[in-house]
Amino acid sequence: MDVLEAMRTRRSIRRFTEEPISRGELEKLFRAAMAAANSGGQQPWRFIVVDDPRLRDELASLEIERGPYYRSPQLIVVCGDIGSMKWKMHWLADCAAAIQNLLLAAHAYGLGAVWQELYPYHTRVAKVRELLGIPDTVYPMAVISIGHPAEKKPPVDRYDPEKVRWNHW
């Protein structure tokens, strides 16, 4: 699948089979994520794979505005390590770019995933930080539920020419 097809057909998947993703498959996803654009080559992204059933279930049960995190064989917590960054606020954009790459790569490999936010919801950030032993200079940004999809969704065309301006507002 080429990148344009992946962009057009990727959808958020919220139901998964019980089959875990292999470490080799996960490495491919992390290689794609870490190929993302980032400011000043700072690469603040850090990834925590949560596959321990107890931790995964505890993390999945944390309430967000739409209910608990979607259950999957593995969860990936995406964090920004601002400890040694020169431009500390750039971690959000850098990690978002890495997440998008990860989602597109997962889709291209036939996997399903959904991005669920943690930051800037400070209660969620604190709970995840405590649960996973994340240091103070590292900010948990998102939880990615990922796995082999147990649902298929058709592509959606979200193009809206009314949202494009030329030269001025």
CATH domain 11-151 topology: NADH Oxidase (3.40.109)
Q: Residue 132 and residue 78: Cα distance in Å, rounded?
A: 12
Parallel/antiparallel/unpaired status of strands 63-64 and 67-68: antiparallel
E-only strand ranges, 13-152: 45-50, 63-64, 67-68, 74-81, 112-117, 138-147
Give the model confidence (pLDDT) of 147-166 as tens digits.
999 999 999 999 999 999 99
Give the model confidence (pLDDT) of 53-110 as tens digits.
899 888 877 766 555 567 788 999 999 998 887 888 899 999 999 999 999 999 999 9
* CA 92 from centre of chain: 12
